[in-house]
């Protein structure tokens, strides 16, 4: 573990944490700290922030790991993030760890800003970087897909802003809700939502340019006759799978299509474990389109929520995936089932 200067990027700018940083006022009224960009050994790494002698009556500090590829140019992208709740009657030492998956040829920095107003005062700000020794060791390394050489669609790349703004389309999906505007006609609402799930997954194959001859993919779970027929006309070879292969099986896919997605009635740890088990089977560059059912009102104990989906997105980014931006619809636009649950599609690419 090595110490990193928290204020080594904007050396002249004063931090909103009183007494730290440079002499000049920062143009960003929320700015707290920003380390310089530096290479990190490939594998599982962790930035650790410590606020010694911290005291605040309220507030929130958001901490992000930003990634930058000098050879690619462009703006830095979000690699991982976390939040630190502030408050308390007496001084205390606060700490937050932000794990991320470091990739060779990429430089990383830790950035912090106040996401809620605060009167935070601290005695000392410390940042440390814990990186793997000699790179991460894995049981079986995922092979590289032919897709990894292709330029990703703009929506599929990692982004500093993970929220999609503007209207969504069924034919060019991001990670989006099922809304009334996207449903086709005919049949029960449940049947129309089921067709929407399958249509969005098929559309993702085309929109993200993974419908190529020579690629192999899996359809997880149940598949309708209509989906079977639609996939038969696609040059991508897709095979039905009832469950994710074991980690030591050596089986990987270029594409995973999972229209029905996670079942309801399972707890959060099992949801994550099931989702991650499938995504671990993607080749480098591979894409997954996954249907989900969730509670948009956070009113049913134990059901998947929007907040949990957001947490998955940040967690997956930290593990080296890209997540298509999240597009959660307004409540009056959502299609809900009899239990009040909504449907969405989650699109992930392994980097």
User: Please, which residues bridge with residue 237 across strands?
Assistant: 216
Q: For residue 6, give every residue at least 6 positions away whose Cβ sits within 8 Å of its Cβ, in sequence order, or none.
A: 20, 33, 34, 35, 49, 110, 112, 125, 126, 127
- Which of 135-139, 268-272, 310-314 has the highest mean predicted lDDT (pLDDT)? 268-272
CA dihedral sign, ordered 84, 20, 48, 160: positive
Please check whether residue 280 is in contact with residue 245, taking contact to mean a CB–CB distance below 8 angstroms. no
Average pLDDT of the residues in 160-183: 78
Query: How many helices (H) does the chain have, and how many strands (E)?
Result: 4, 17
Confidence of residue 166 (pLDDT cuts 50, 70, 90): low
Q: Model confidence over 205-262: pLDDT tens digits?
A: 988 888 888 888 999 988 888 888 888 777 888 888 999 988 778 899 999 999 999 8
The span from the first CA to the last CA of the chain, in angstroms, equals: 26
pLDDT digits (tens, 9 = 90+) for 58-110: 889 999 998 887 665 556 777 888 889 898 778 899 999 999 888 877 889 99
285, 212 contact by CB (below 8 A):
no
pLDDT for the residue numbered 320: 73
Q: What is the pLDDT of residue 110?
A: 95
Average pLDDT for the chain? 85
Yes or no: say if 15 and 5 are a contact pair by the CB < 8 Å rule: no
pLDDT for the residue 200: 94
| 150-159, 162-171, 177-186, 221-230: least confident range | 150-159
Higher-confidence residue of 240 and 351: namely 240
**Residue 16 clears pLDDT 50, i.e. is over it:** yes
The three-state DSSP-derived secondary structure of 153-190 is: CHHHCCCCCCECCCCCCCCCCCEEECEHHHCCCCCCHH
**pLDDT at 273 > cutoff 60:** yes
Mean pLDDT of 180-204: 92
Residue 151 has pLDDT above 50, yes or no: no
Q: Read off the pLDDT band of 137 (50, 70, 90).
A: very low
Cα–Cα distance between 209 and 147 in angstroms, integer?
8
């Amino acid at each position: 573990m090595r110490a990193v200067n928290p204020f080594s990027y904007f050396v002249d700018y004063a931090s909103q944490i009183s007494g730290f940083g440079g002499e000049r006022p920062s143009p960003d009224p929320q700015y707290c700290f920003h380390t310089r960009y530096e290479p990190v050994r490939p594998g599982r790494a962790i930035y650790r922030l410590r606020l010694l002698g911290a005291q605040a009556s309220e507030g929130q500090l958001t901490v992000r790991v930003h990634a930058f590829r000098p050879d690619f140019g462009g703006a830095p992208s979000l690699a991982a993030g976390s939040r630190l709740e502030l408050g308390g009657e007496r001084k205390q030492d606060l700490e937050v760890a932000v794990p991320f998956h470091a990739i060779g040829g990429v430089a990383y920095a830790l950035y912090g800003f106040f996401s809620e107003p605060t009167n935070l005062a601290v005695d000392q700000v410390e940042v440390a970087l814990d990186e793997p020794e000699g790179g991460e060791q894995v049981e079986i390394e995922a092979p590289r897909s032919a897709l990894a050489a292709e330029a990703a669609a703009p929506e599929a790349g990692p982004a500093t802003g993970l929220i999609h703004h503007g209207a969504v389309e069924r034919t060019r999906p991001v990670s989006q809700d099922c809304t009334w505007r996207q449903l086709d006609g005919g049949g029960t609402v449940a049947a129309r939502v089921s067709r929407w799930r399958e249509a969005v997954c098929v559309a993702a194959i085309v929109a993200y340019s993974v419908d190529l001859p020579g690629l192999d993919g899996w359809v997880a779970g149940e598949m309708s006759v209509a989906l079977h027929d639609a996939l038969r006309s696609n040059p991508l070879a897709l095979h039905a799978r009832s469950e994710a292969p074991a980690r030591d099986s050596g089986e990987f896919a270029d594409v995973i299509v999972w229209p029905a997605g996670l079942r309801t009635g399972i707890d959060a740890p099992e949801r994550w474990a099931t989702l991650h088990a499938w995504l671990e089977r993607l080749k480098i560059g591979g894409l997954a389109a996954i249907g989900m059912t969730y509670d948009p009102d956070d009113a049913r104990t134990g059901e998947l929520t929007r907040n949990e989906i957001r947490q998955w997105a940040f967690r997956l980014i930290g593990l080296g995936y890209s997540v298509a931006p999240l597009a959660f619809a307004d409540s009056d636009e959502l299609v809900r089932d009899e239990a009040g649950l909504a449907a969405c599609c989650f699109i992930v690419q392994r980097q």
